Amino acid sequence: MSTLKINNLSKKFQTNDFYSLENVNLEINAGDIVGLVGRNGAGKSTLLKLIAKSYIPTSGTIEYNGNNIFNNDYILKDVGIMIEPVFYSYMTVKENLEFYLEVHGKQEFKKNIDDILELVDLSKKKNNKPENFSFGMKQRLSLAIVLVDEPDFLILDEPFVGLDPYGVQELLEILQSWVQERSISMIISSHQLSELESICNRFVMLEDGKMKDIQIEGERSLGQYFTGGKDNK
């Protein structure tokens, strides 16, 4: 069963004379962990924001479980969206998670809060306000919010950016343990292929707004492409 189906999706911003995304087709099936790679400005965030419905497409459609997401409300109810770390900085960690669950009418997941905070290593900060958190902690809080209602589909835009190698490893381990325990589909973007290798089972590449599907065997040459051959194993 197809989970997410993107058909001929294009996006041109009014202020630009070029397409940030052009005729993109992509199908993400249940269980797919898709790595979305591409250079700065390739259109990764644009694509993910379209899926998250924060951008309106110029043309094309996105279907989630067979429903056009732009024609219906509450389609993304069970989708976790982390385009940038967001939360209310003047509310405590716990209040933020409670807010998210209540606003979506998902009180039944409140029992998950302690486990999720344990998973992202924020249990001790449960009653703190995230104002003065480090970047990594903010990132993990944001991830906790997204995971707390056990989404079926995850959208993560450059979740590793700004993290030190230890932070990247930590986040990867969180995601891996999450993926292992349940059937979930995911699309994660990054401009660093190496970060995605251990978690993704499929890669797609964007270049100047155009999609290039690549097989997992193509990884090596892709790595070469991104690092200019320097780091090529």
Residues that bind other proteins (CB under 8 A): 49, 52-56, 69, 73-77, 79, 81-84, 86-88, 90-91, 95, 98-100, 102-105, 145
In the complex with other proteins, which residue's Cβ is closer, 98 or 121? 98
Please select the residue that binds ligand ATP; options are 24, 42, 122, 145, rule is CB under 6 A: 42
CB closest to Mg ion, residue no: 45
CB of 102 to ligand ATP, least distance (A): 30
Total site size for ligand ATP, rule CB under 6 A: 13
Binding span for ligand ATP by CB under 6 A among 1-9, 15-23, 63-71, 178-186: 15-23
Mask 155-194, x = binds ligand ATP (CB under 6 A)?
------------------------------------x---
Strands 21-29 and 2-11: antiparallel
Binding span for Mg ion by CB under 5 A among 12-20, 39-47, 95-103, 126-134: 39-47
In the complex with other proteins, which residue's Cβ is closer, 18 or 74? 74
Please select the residue that binds ligand ATP; options are 3, 6, 38, 195, rule is CB under 6 A: 38
20 forms part of the interface with Mg ion (CB under 5 A): no
In the complex with other proteins, which residue's Cβ is closer, 91 or 214? 91
Write the single-letter amino acid at 117. Answer: L
Q: CA 233, CA 130: separation in Å to the nearest integer?
A: 40
Please select the residue that binds Mg ion; options are 45, 112, 139, 185, rule is CB under 5 A: 45
Binding span for ligand ATP by CB under 6 A among 40-48, 62-70, 86-94, 193-201: 40-48
| Contact call for residues 79 and 155 (beta carbons, < 8 A) | yes
Instruction: Give the contacts of 148 (CB within 8 A, at least 6 positions apart).
Output: 97, 100, 101, 109, 112, 113, 116
Block residue for tokens 């992509």: 26
229 forms part of the interface with ligand ATP (CB under 6 A): no
Residues of this chain that bind ligand ATP (CB under 6 A): 13, 15-16, 20, 38, 40-46, 191
